[in-house]
Amino acid sequence: MTTRELQRDVPHYAEQDWGGKREVSIQSWLDHAVGRRLSGTSFGVPEDDAGPRAPVWEDALVNQVIKMNMAMFLIAEKHSITNTAAMIGLAPDERSRTFLASQVLDETRHFEVFSRRMADLGVYPAERDKLMARYLAPSMRKFFELIQEQIDKGSYLGAAVGQNLILEGMAFPVYRYEARYWSYFDPGLSQIIRGAFADEVHHTGYGEAYLKGVVARDATCRNEVTTLVRQSYAIMKEMFETLILKYVGLYQSAANEHMEALGDIMIFPNRRMADVTEEEQFRILMAEIEEEYRNRTQAIGIDAF
């Protein structure tokens, strides 16, 4: 299943009436996530998953990059668990509380499955936590502190903008890229990433729908949301620019030694891995991230810049 098909396959609340057309319940979450999408999987992969392929074990650089990549996913998931759990107490209505409760389960599952994949590589919690501390960049910390600040202030609007709109919504291109990149080295990890991506689309759909309703009803809230969105975007863009520029060379170097196997992967639409330089990867990813920001702001009905 392609990532575009994946996006179409999950409930997208921005296309629904948040007031009642789609049921929001733990039962609907169980039916969709557990009963259908995760059926037949264990820790995010098929029960007969063969594990990472030989280069992950034999090529030191590929081994380093895959551990670094999962550490950064785990950093985001750990903060998402804490942030979303704190948002439940600030939620303005029962439906939002119920949705956020299911989101906490999603984020916790993501942390668990990435941790399990790390353990499959021989990286257990003590070393895993050291890797997470090593790869927590100042720009990442700055964004997470922004969300925490909104929670500490009791601002559900601010937390929803940061967590459910910007953090998760702007990251769509990164999920697509990562799922494609690892599809040869570790098909199981690629599936784990696609599964997390499907959940994040779901979470972002809620954020879009909730914020769209707030913006449409209240001019004061509209101004507040606009300010928060632009502030969050600036920090998130800085974070992505820093991390992608810093690590895209490592990704490319790891791929170069295995380009015969990776070359035909469509790492971007109509662009083969073998034909895209480091500079082009950075440029395309940043353009896609900005496009997602425009999509998010258009969905809630405010000006992007």
Q: Give dist(CA 143, CA 243) in Å, integer.
A: 13
What local confidence, expressed as pLDDT, does residue 81 receive? Answer: 98
CATH number of 50-300: 1.10.620.20
Q: Give the residue extent of every domain in the chain.
A: 50-300
What DSSP letter does each residue of 46-61 carry, written as one string? ETT---S-HHHHH-HH
Closest CA to 268 of 174, 188, 186: 174
What local confidence, expressed as pLDDT, does residue 304 receive? Answer: 77
Strand-pair category, 271-272 with 266-268: antiparallel
What local confidence, expressed as pLDDT, does residue 44 receive? Answer: 95
pLDDT in tens, the chain (305 residues): 444 444 444 444 433 444 444 578 899 899 888 888 899 999 999 999 999 999 999 999 999 999 999 999 999 999 999 999 999 999 999 999 999 999 999 999 999 999 999 999 999 999 999 999 999 999 999 999 999 999 999 999 999 999 999 999 999 999 999 999 999 999 999 999 999 999 999 999 999 999 999 999 999 999 999 999 999 999 999 999 999 999 999 999 999 999 999 999 999 999 999 999 999 999 999 999 999 999 999 999 998 77
Residue 262 near residue 274, CB atoms below 8 Å: yes
What local confidence, expressed as pLDDT, does residue 24 receive? Answer: 85
Q: Give dist(CA 111, CA 99) in Å, integer.
A: 19
Q: Give dist(CA 207, CA 125) in Å, integer.
A: 32
Q: How large is the greatest C-alpha to C-alpha distance in the chain, in angstroms? A: 58
What local confidence, expressed as pLDDT, does residue 66 receive? Answer: 98
What local confidence, expressed as pLDDT, does residue 16 receive? Answer: 43
The predicted model scores a pTM of 0.93
Closest CA to 240 of 199, 195, 285: 285
What local confidence, expressed as pLDDT, does residue 33 receive? Answer: 86
